[in-house]
C-alpha cells in the first residue's frame, strides 16, 4: 500500500513539473501559462496530501484490495516520458493543452481506481476528491482549448 501511495506522490510531483515545463514555452499566451502554473501548484498540493496520508498508513485497514500496481506504474512511466518530451520540445498551444487534458484524464482514472482499491474510508474519500480535482482540471483545459484554438 505504501508503495502505491509513493508512486502516486511521484506521479503528482511529475505532473507539477510537466505543467511548469509547459508554461515556459514562448509559444503560449500569458493566460495559458498562468493556468498551467496554477495546475502545477494544485498537483504539488495533491502530492502533499498523499505524503500526509503516508504518515498514517499502517495496518490492514490501509491495505489495497489488489496488489497490482501496474496501472499506477504505467501512469508514472508515461508521465516521465511526457516530462522528457516537454523538456526537449517547445510545445505550441494545441500540444500543451492536449497533453494536459490527456494527463488529467489518465490521473482521474487512476484516482478513481485507487478510491475503489483502498479499504480505508479516509483514503477512498481522498482519492475520490483527487479524481474530482482532475475533472475540474480537465474542464479548465477544455475551456482553454475552446478559447485558444
| C-alpha span between 11 and 73 (Å, rounded) | 9
17 Cβ contact list (under 8 Å, min separation 6): 40, 83
Asked if 38 and 143 count as a contact pair (C-beta separation under 8 A), the reply is no
Nearest to 11 by CA among 118, 126, 93, 108: 108
Confidence (pLDDT) at 71: 87
Quick: pLDDT tens for 86-110: 999 999 999 999 999 999 999 999 9
Res 143 pLDDT > 60: yes
What gap in Å lies between CA 101 and CA 117, rounded to an integer? Answer: 24
CA atoms within 13 A on the CB side of 13: 10
pLDDT tens for 38-80 read 999 999 999 999 999 888 877 655 555 666 778 889 999 999 9
Count the neighbouring beta carbons within 10 Å of the beta carbon of residue 120: 18
On the 0-12 / 13-18 / 19+ scale of CB atoms within 10 A, 19 is buried
Name the β-bridge partners of 118. 64
Amino acid at each position: 500500500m505504501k508503495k502505491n501511495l509513493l508512486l502516486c506522490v511521484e506521479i503528482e510531483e511529475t505532473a507539477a513539473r510537466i505543467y511548469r515545463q509547459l508554461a515556459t514555452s514562448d509559444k503560449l499566451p500569458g493566460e495559458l501559462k498562468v493556468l498551467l502554473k496554477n495546475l502545477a501548484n494544485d498537483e504539488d498540493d495533491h502530492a502533499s496530501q498523499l505524503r500526509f496520508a503516508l504518515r498514517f498508513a499502517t495496518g490492514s485497514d490501509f491495505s489495497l484490495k489488489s496488489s497490482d500496481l501496474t496501472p499506477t506504474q504505467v501512469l508514472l512511466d508515461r508521465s516521465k516520458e511526457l516530462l522528457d518530451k516537454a523538456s526537449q520540445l517547445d510545445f505550441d498551444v494545441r500540444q500543451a493543452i492536449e497533453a494536459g487534458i490527456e494527463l488529467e484524464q489518465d490521473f482521474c482514472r487512476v484516482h478513481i481506481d485507487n478510491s475503489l482499491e483502498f479499504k480505508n474510508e479516509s483514503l477512498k474519500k481522498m482519492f475520490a476528491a483527487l479524481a474530482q480535482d482532475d475533472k475540474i482540471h480537465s474542464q479548465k483545459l477544455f475551456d482553454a482549448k475552446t478559447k485558444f484554438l
